[in-house]
Structure 1
């Protein structure tokens, strides 16, 4: 049995970035990371552009101008202005080549075809120059950039429709247990509704990982070994819940051993989630999480999350950790470090009831985990605690 810190370091050092590339349409590339620099096919803006509603001027020595035309957004015509002439212009419209400044409409008095501006202005005032954001052939976004909604909007504004991105891992979620049935079926005596796969699938969706397949295995050694062999051959990451302890019907560990899976560690000194397995077979990583739902989710956020971030070559691998004042009293049983379901708000944290590893009710309310180290045995109201912020 190893410590939490040792387990985290082993996950970090064992996991390697995937660096597999794929091409995605820009509109479907959200949350991916660019695998190549993106070069702009055009200047942006592609013409001298008005920054506001007002009047485009061919500057002269006085404040009075003759209004000769109008240019609105989308117009293609090019009025020719002589010194002392102006055109009405609107935000986003192309600025005539013969105009060299724009005065906002609030600072102009108009009467018929004559306008008077409040004061002299400098050349190019309120004009967005050609290629102000990016020049044609210039780097629009660098390799490694995360494609946020703003980045997708920017690329689309350049007319770009597809980009090369790093492929996200293919993930198999495997649940084990004869007692498990699918929600919606009649609940007969001795059975429980299976929730781990849907819970973890949605945790992955929340982190923008979508290449996921779900698998269920009965408590049978040969079937367990066969299914694990299949998913290990077809995925970058395998997450198993249940069947990893030492009971007579826990066949995951025995099957992984038979399949020559390399054990990186098994069992972590923590609560919940002690019977946690992490290993690899060739290029595929495998986490075998405890079957109890709250334990499985705690282990997911503590270890699997790190592995996913490392696969995507991210620098920030762990969830944010902060200090917060406890609003609760809590006594720890035993000497194992513990993760407690909690609600964090504005520098304070409340430790919730129902900390049993099988209980999801309070986890459903949580936005944080309070971490109690090995050498801490109680928390009093007002104590400063270590808090892990969960993804929202």
Structure 2
């Protein structure tokens, strides 16, 4: 058995970025990770640009100017201004080469073509110089950057239309348990509805891993082994739900061993989710998750998501714990670390919810955080600062 910290360290050491890349149009690149650094093909802005609506001036000693024209955004007009002359200009428009200041429209009085300034202008005011944001050849975004809406806008703004990204993994979800029935079917005594397949598939899609599929496996070693073999043939990442504990019908560990999976750890000193296995098979990876729904989802957020980000080459892949104060006393029992379903509140507080059992999803359904109680913690008083993982 390993600790939470040891499990995270093992995943971080073992999982390497995939070598598979593709050239991806920006329209499809959201939440992908750059495989190579992107260099700006242009200066940004590529010309002197007005930062405000107002008047571009060729400065002289008087506060009076003569308006001789107009330059709108997108205009190629480049009037030659003499000292004492001005043009009406708008935000984003190219500043005439002969202008050396822009005064905002709220600071002038205009009558016909005569412009009177409230104050003496400052040289360079409200002018964005060429290359203020990026010079040609600068790194726009480094390899390993996960692409956000803002980063896509930045790339488009320098004229990039497609970028090399790491391929996202295909993920197989193998659901075990002869007691499980599909929603809508009639339940017999001892049967329950299967929920982990849908839940894990939705969790993956919520994190932008959309290429997923679910396989159902019987609680028999031979059929389970064949189902897992099929999963490894079709996917880079395999998630197994259930069958990883020590019951008479828990065959997942044995089946994975038959398929040549190298186990890096089995069982984590935590609650929920103690019976967790992480392994690799060549360049593929597998997580065998507990069958209890809350345990499985907890392990997804803490361990699986980290491994997926590492596989994608995300340079900032890590578990990012935040700090908040708890709203009520909590008494942690036992010597295992705990992840507690919680709700983030106002004023940097977090509320630990009722219904913490590993089988209960009702509290998870309204949770947006997991409070992390370390092994050596016991009674934790109200208003104590604790660490939590944001999960929404």
State if a TM-score over 0.5 links the two structures.
Answer: yes
Task: Name the counterpart of 2:328.
Answer: 327
Mapped partners of 1:234, 1:117: distance in 2: 71
Mapped partners of 2:284, 2:242: distance in 1: 19
Q: Is the 8 A contact 2:352 2:371 kept in 1?
A: yes
Q: Is the 8 A contact 1:326 1:380 kept in 2?
A: no
Task: Name the counterpart of 2:144.
Answer: 144
Mapped partners of 1:260, 1:32: distance in 2: 31
SS in 1 for 2:342: strand
1:211 aligns with 2:206: no
Task: Name the counterpart of 1:25.
Answer: 25
Q: Size of the alignment, in residue pairs?
A: 390
SS in 1 for 2:355: coil
Mapped partners of 1:246, 1:129: distance in 2: 68
* 1:60-106, Cα deviation, whole Å (9 max, x unpaired): 23222222212222223333322222211111122223322221111
Instruction: Report how far residue 383 of structure 1 moved.
Output: 7.0
- Within 5 A, what are the aligned runs for 1:234-245? 234-245=234-245
Task: Name the counterpart of 1:126.
Answer: 126
Instruction: Report how far residue 369 of structure 1 moved.
Output: 2.8
SS in 2 for 1:109: strand
Task: Name the counterpart of 2:356.
Answer: 355
Pick closer, same or farther for the CA change 1:373–1:56 going to 2, 3 Å: closer
Of the structure 1 ranges 187-196 and 18-27, higher mean CA displacement relative to structure 2 is found in 187-196
TM-score normalised by length of structure 2: 0.90
Mapped partners of 2:85, 2:92: distance in 1: 20
Task: Name the counterpart of 2:293.
Answer: 293
Task: Name the counterpart of 2:39.
Answer: 39
Instruction: Report how far residue 146 of structure 1 moved.
Output: 2.8
Q: Is the 8 A contact 1:12 1:307 kept in 2?
A: yes
Mapped partners of 1:223, 1:230: distance in 2: 11
* 1:161-200, Cα deviation, whole Å (9 max, x unpaired): 1011222332222111222233344445543222112222
Instruction: Report how far residue 159 of structure 1 moved.
Output: 2.1
Mapped partners of 1:36, 1:6: distance in 2: 31
TM-score normalised by length of structure 1: 0.90
Task: Name the counterpart of 1:172.
Answer: 172
Instruction: Report how far residue 49 of structure 1 moved.
Output: 1.7
* 1:332-357, Cα deviation, whole Å (9 max, x unpaired): 2x543333323343444433322221
SS in 2 for 1:92: coil
Mapped partners of 2:37, 2:259: distance in 1: 41
Mapped partners of 1:120, 1:321: distance in 2: 49
Pick closer, same or farther for the CA change 1:71–1:185 going to 2, 3 Å: farther
Pick closer, same or farther for the CA change 1:161–1:268 going to 2, 3 Å: same
1:112 aligns with 2:112: yes
Mapped partners of 1:154, 1:371: distance in 2: 36
Tell me the C-alpha RMSD between the 2 structures.
2.4
Mapped partners of 2:332, 2:48: distance in 1: 68
Q: Is the 8 A contact 2:8 2:303 kept in 1?
A: yes
1:340 aligns with 2:340: yes
Q: Is the 8 A contact 2:294 2:359 kept in 1?
A: yes
* 1:199-249, Cα deviation, whole Å (9 max, x unpaired): 222222333323322222222332211121122233332110111123333
Q: Is there any run of 5+ residues in structure 1 with no aligned partner, and where?
A: none
Pick closer, same or farther for the CA change 1:338–1:101 going to 2, 3 Å: closer
Mapped partners of 1:131, 1:69: distance in 2: 26
SS in 2 for 1:365: coil
SS in 2 for 1:299: helix
Instruction: Report how far residue 358 of structure 1 moved.
Output: 0.9
Task: Name the counterpart of 1:224.
Answer: 224
Q: Is the 8 A contact 2:195 2:293 kept in 1?
A: yes
Mapped partners of 1:117, 1:352: distance in 2: 62
Q: Is there any run of 5+ residues in structure 2 with no aligned partner, and where?
A: none
Q: Is the 8 A contact 1:327 1:349 kept in 2?
A: no
